[in-house]
Structure 1
């Protein structure tokens, strides 16, 4: 919006919030999961750019799942079919969605 404060790197919002949630709750991050997305103060996950490149990078790194903003659903079509078949792509609308898929259940080794 006009008058908004310029920011760099908003697509790391979900990853940073997940790291903080892991620290505060003691729940370990789920291995092999990448994520991207800007978050609002109310926990909504907003679309970001570079989805194809980010998913290709996650695939090259051997990750098994990627969490994307639901608002980026159209971008999935730009990802090569063989990559889409090899990596689980989950669309998230809120940080609750992200945390459900990105943190292991309580008591699964973090305690």
Structure 2
């Protein structure tokens, strides 16, 4: 049911590549977000399950709290309607692992800044912006590689799962482990004065948020 083709790699506003794990393997999830003048309504479409919708809401709540860090108007939740759509609308989807991909698409839509299209990502986001571990790392990296993606963002807590990924695949991928959503945006947002250049990856401090590993989902 999911499309099987090369991912769109040109930087665009409001488009990110998430990664999902299904019974038949990993897949790329294209996630779109648009922001239009309105009254703060949020539409989440694409046959999303409750957990996936809650993950999107958690990301939006984080952005409300930290809007000033990203040049987002602090009143956006009152003056802007958001629509987040996960493509392949006929296919049911659920789980929290697209959280950082959905939140990144929303940041892009609200700021008008392009995000990199040559990177795929997977990770649950919390209200504090923590990036929590997910399942299906091997399958997701295989799907990214098949789609022509060369860089993948994963939760730092999932680094041990890289042992399950074939060496030939890892040799052809750059894997960026992150603890915090701010690291994701450091990589994903295209610099405003450059085309296709991001701010760069910055490792999180060892004591970020001061919490230990979380259970994978």
TM norm structure 1:
0.88
Give the total of aligned pairs: 105
Residue 97 of structure 2 corresponds to: 11
Between the aligned partners of 2:100 and 2:125, the Cα distance in structure 1 is: 6
**Structure 1 or 2: larger helix share?**
1
Contact 1:68 1:90 in 2 (8 A): yes
2:136 to 50, 66, 69: 50
Higher relative contact order (CA 8 A, sep 6+): 1
Q: Which has the larger radius of gyration?
A: 2
Residue 35 of structure 1 corresponds to: 121
Following superposition of structure 1 onto structure 2, how do residues 54-93 of structure 1 map, counting pairs within 5 Å? Answer: 54-93=140-179
Between the aligned partners of 1:9 and 1:104, the Cα distance in structure 2 is: 28
The alignment yields a C-alpha RMSD, in angstroms, of: 1.5
The runs of 5 or more residues in structure 1 that have no matched partner are 1-5
The runs of 5 or more residues in structure 2 that have no matched partner are 1-49, 52-93, 196-217
Residue 3 of structure 1 corresponds to: none
Between the aligned partners of 2:163 and 2:189, the Cα distance in structure 1 is: 27
TM norm structure 2:
0.46
